[in-house]
Amino acid sequence: MSQFWSAHVHDLDPYVPGEQPKDQRYIKLNTNECPYPPSPKALQALREANLEHLRLYPDPNGDVVKDAVLEYFKEHGLTRSEVFVGNGSDEVLAHVFCGLLKHDLPLLYPDISYSFYPVYANLYQIKADVIPLRDDFTLNIDDYQRPNGGIIFPNPNAPTGIALSLASIETLLQRNPHSVVVVDEAYVDFGAESAVSLVKQYANLLVVQTLSKSRALAGLRVGFAIGQADLIEALERVKNSFNSYPLDRLALVAGAAAILDREHLHTVCEAITQTRTHTVQALEQLGFTVLPSSANFIFTRPPLGQAQDLYQQLKARGILVRYFNKPRLNEYLRITIGTEAEMNELIKQLKQLVG
């Protein structure tokens, strides 16, 4: 606490990212990073970039990335005015909270979802009603039939990995024509249906995606949103009141190349979903309960309720997983899907710890 702080800063409750310890090498299964390298085309674009041009500001509009997004989703016939780009999807989400979700009526989001949502709600002083998931951690769209100033949830959800069907999302959109429904698709490529196909039909839909997970570029910081021009304009207004150049020159060229490399995306997602299947089977054989995952992580309850203990013992053995010491979550571990070899090592260690 400092006399120099703005009053509001005293009340902030900042997001705590998964640990990135530097004391030793870990098998890192705690922050949903991709275990495989980014697209070789993205790396090539970085090598070929003219570094002397770093003396010049980048394109404030990020058009090469917007155009790559349009090409990637070309079957949906989008235009540049329907795409927004930002410094990671966290920044995109921050602008969404500021520009589209602050109203007199409360914002709705699930009690168990991305823990950045309450942080942004608090930062921008947005009233929120937190809606509990069902006991089985699925989202019941009927619970969202109440007056609201917006709805946001990840699909697939985090940290559960459970996906909501496109039909349910469409029902939600139809029931809430006067508020924005934000679908945070950070993990969509690992097994859920994208709502981008509904953007042309629904003026109240905003879809947010990131290059951090399925495209293995968490370190580059590129995210984007897709929605009708009216919603995107709000985000551009906020962005141009905050930082004109969210994507640097390297992020622009590498991000565009990564989005255009469909084949690499496909290969990475295939490998991860196969390893996910193997990991779930092995964990179930050890007596773990595993929620049905459509993401690059699994949410699992150890047989004897020793989640926190296992988190610590795995860390001591060089394997990092995520443990949330919060009601409803504290019996579970969230485990990112790594390479086949990393997951075999995890299973080997778990066999010793619970066997």
* Residues forming the site for ligand PLP (CB under 6 A): 32, 88-90, 114, 154, 158, 184, 186, 210, 212, 218, 223
349 near 335, Cβ under 8 Å?
no
User: How many Cβ atoms are within 10 Å of 198's Cβ, its own excluded?
Assistant: 18
Closest distance to ligand PLP from the beta carbon of 342 (Å) = 19
Distance CA 39, CA 255 (A): 10
| Residue 165 DSSP symbol | P
CA 216 from centre of chain: 12
Three-state DSSP class for 336? strand
Closest distance to ligand PLP from the beta carbon of 16 (Å) = 14
For ligand PLP, the closer of residues 89 and 275 by Cβ is 89
What residues form DSSP beta bridges with 130?
109
Helix (H) or strand (E) holding 299: strand 297-301
For ligand PLP, the closer of residues 90 and 282 by Cβ is 90
Closest distance to ligand PLP from the beta carbon of 117 (Å) = 9
Closest distance to ligand PLP from the beta carbon of 178 (Å) = 25
Angle, CA of 196, 198 and 203, to the nearest 5°: 105
For ligand PLP, the closer of residues 179 and 212 by Cβ is 212
Distance CA 291, CA 283 (A): 11
Closest distance to ligand PLP from the beta carbon of 273 (Å) = 17
For ligand PLP, the closer of residues 221 and 264 by Cβ is 221
For ligand PLP, the closer of residues 35 and 223 by Cβ is 223
The residue length of the chain stands at 355
Mapping DSSP onto H, E and C, the string for 237-264 reads: HHHCCCCCCCCCHHHHHHHHHHHHCHHH
For ligand PLP, the closer of residues 243 and 281 by Cβ is 243
Q: Evaluate the omega torsion of the peptide bond into residue 159 and state whether it is cis, within 30 degrees of 0.
A: yes
Closest distance to ligand PLP from the beta carbon of 349 (Å) = 25
For ligand PLP, the closer of residues 213 and 264 by Cβ is 213
Tell whether the torsion through CA atoms of 134, 139, 143 and 149 is positive or negative.
positive
Distance CA 117, CA 122 (A): 9
**Nearest residue to 115 via CA among 98, 130, 103:** 130
**Nearest residue to 184 via CA among 273, 113, 99:** 113
For ligand PLP, the closer of residues 155 and 349 by Cβ is 155
| Residue 25 DSSP symbol | -
Largest CA distance in the chain: 59
Closest distance to ligand PLP from the beta carbon of 158 (Å) = 4
250 near 62, Cβ under 8 Å?
no
For ligand PLP, the closer of residues 158 and 173 by Cβ is 158
